[in-house]
Amino acid sequence: MFRSSDPAETEAYLSRQYAEVSVHASPDARTEVVRHTADRFSVEDLRIGCEMSFTAEPLSAVCVVVLHTGTIAVRESGLPDEVFGPGEVFLHTAGHRPYTGAVSGARYTAALLHPDLLADTLQACDKTARRPILFTGRRPATAGAGRQLAATVAFLRDSVLAPPPRPRPPLIDTTCGQLLAAAVLAAFPYTTPGARPAAAPGDATLQRAIAFIEANAHLDITLADIAASIPVSPRAVQYAFARHAGTTPLAYLRGVRLARVHEELASAMPGQSTVTETAARWGFAHPGRFAAAYRDVYGTSPSRTLAARPGRTAPPGPDTAVPAPAGGVPGGAAAGEGAEAAGGSGPAARRPGRPPVTHVVRERCLVVTLWSPPDPDRRDGVVRYVQTLLDAHRPDCVVVELPPAAATASAVATVLTLHRHCTARRVPLAVAAGQPETRRLITAVQPTVPALPEVEVALEAARGLARG
């Protein structure tokens, strides 16, 4: 903890802890700082009881502020100049440029994250994302996203980082850092070199447009077709992408098609196809421009991707290590079989070699059980597997069960990804998790997801959402 009414002492402390800062304050400037540190991130409470201006060099950290009282003005090239007041959540600095500003009688909580923590968290979910992450706005994409981030910061400060009676296990720091990074990425608009943007939470126009593009990228669709599928005006679609994704609808469409080409090249059998044929099938008629765009995103040439394909003798299956039991795949055993396994008891729950994911359909509700936490390499496969279940069964709602062995930050990240896909399909999702900490994490990041202790209770909540 730091307390001082001496401007020179305050300047020395802030410069030592954050960056080279020049403080111009009144003689009675009282400053208090309480720091809660962890691996690659910290959460800090600050009280600045005076008028104070600052000029700072790059902080080498992304700083997010939850402002409780007073005002803060910030200026940084590449981001809009803005003044914030009580109750607002904002990006104080993106971390890699000098910035200036002023603080007036403010009390606030600041979360500082190492840029690599953000990049690692993003790449765990989207392997096509490239560094660095470039934020395009200071304010959260939606008011709800801002509230979620503020709740996450408060939870980490009060329930995780507060001094414990014994040393905190390193795994706690790692998982909580991932949670904080995910909440920051979900809140603020950003882009990465060549990366495909994700749907912004709460923006229905963007979510529906992305769902339509993903499902129809193989067709000759236009901006008018995308708008008509929602339905809104083409201008509304353009605004949604510009505001929340930092791109245009057609640029996003090109990104989706580029990703499909990459998938086909990476899994093609010897002699099955060529780069030119695959690119043309997805609408890339100019080989030179296609190769340049491909290299920008994937860091290599399309011909190298094709040459490095696995030499298999049969077409590869889904890129996932989550085999389902006989009753857990479309076209398998009857939908009612395996209900006990999905509920966490019965023979399937005790069976040696049980697959990491099982499912059952109960009265038009899909219950998916994650028996073990999917690591980042398998998370995409889990999501694709559940998407095949949604296509096959067309359920009214979804419940994801997290037994104690699967109640980790990785499983929570998977649940939130599944929620985004279910929202795009207008299928309500609820979570059954016996661990209170897991339920709190889910609620902190996405309050609209019911997180309940038992499957039956979660089923009722999901069905209630489906009924409207």
- Residues 302-324 have pLDDT tens digits of 888 888 754 433 333 333 323 33
Give the side-chain half-sphere CA count within 13 A for 72. Answer: 28
Burial of residue 150 (number of CB atoms within 10 Å: 0-12, 13-18, 19+): buried
Report pLDDT for 288.
Answer: 85
Distance of CA 259 to the CA centre of its chain: 19
Distance CA 66, CA 303 (A): 48
Question: Do 24 and 56 form a contact (C-beta atoms < 8 A)?
Answer: no
Four-point Cα dihedral 228, 232, 234, 236, nearest 10: -150
List beta partners, residue 359: 368
Angle between helices 436-445 and 170-187 (to 10 degrees): 20
Q: List where CATH 2.60.120.10 sits in the chain.
A: 2-185
Burial of residue 454 (number of CB atoms within 10 Å: 0-12, 13-18, 19+): middle
Question: Do 213 and 226 form a contact (C-beta atoms < 8 A)?
Answer: yes
Report pLDDT for 166.
Answer: 62
String of DSSP letters for 220-285: ---HHHHHHTTT--HHHHHHHHHHHTSS-HHHHHHHHHHHHHHHHHHHPPTTS--HHHHHHHTT--
Distances (CA, A) of 347 to 108, 330, 363, 433: 52, 21, 22, 20
Question: Do 51 and 102 form a contact (C-beta atoms < 8 A)?
Answer: yes
Scan for tokens 């008028």, then name that residue.
51
Write the class of the CATH domain 204-307: mainly alpha
Question: Do 196 and 255 form a contact (C-beta atoms < 8 A)?
Answer: yes
Nearest CA to 432 out of 468, 397, 389, 394 is that of: 397
Task: Tell me which fold the domain 326-467 belongs to.
Answer: Transcription Regulator spoIIAA (3.30.750)
- Which residue numbers in the chain have pLDDT < 70? 19-29, 128, 164-166, 193-203, 245-246, 270, 297-299, 309-355, 373-379, 405, 407-410, 444-445
Contacts of residue 158, Cβ cutoff 8 Å, sequence gap at least 6: none
Distance CA 220, CA 216 (A): 8
pTM above 0.85, yes or no: no
Report pLDDT for 292.
Answer: 85
Strand pairing class (365-370; 397-402) = parallel
Residue range 2-185 in CATH 2.60.40.10: no
Question: Do 173 and 38 form a contact (C-beta atoms < 8 A)?
Answer: yes
Report pLDDT for 398.
Answer: 95
Report pLDDT for 408.
Answer: 65
3-state secondary structure of 444: helix
Report pLDDT for 299.
Answer: 66
Q: List where CATH 3.30.750.24 sits in the chain.
A: 326-467
Four-point Cα dihedral 345, 346, 351, 353, nearest 10: -50
Q: List where CATH 1.10.10.60 sits in the chain.
A: 204-307
List beta partners, residue 112: 42, 63
Strand pairing class (429-433; 451-452) = parallel
Report pLDDT for 315.
Answer: 32
Condensed to tens digits (0 to 9), the pLDDT of residues 65-88 reads: 999 998 888 888 777 778 888 889
Angle between helices 143-155 and 170-187 (to 10 degrees): 160
Report pLDDT for 23.
Answer: 66
Contacts of residue 229, Cβ cutoff 8 Å, sequence gap at least 6: 208, 209, 212
* CA atoms 196, 200, 201, 204: torsion sign: negative
Distance of CA 368 to the CA centre of its chain: 21
Angle between helices 170-187 and 115-125 (to 10 degrees): 80
DSSP state of 429: E
| Residue 430, phi then psi, degrees to nearest 5 | -130, 165
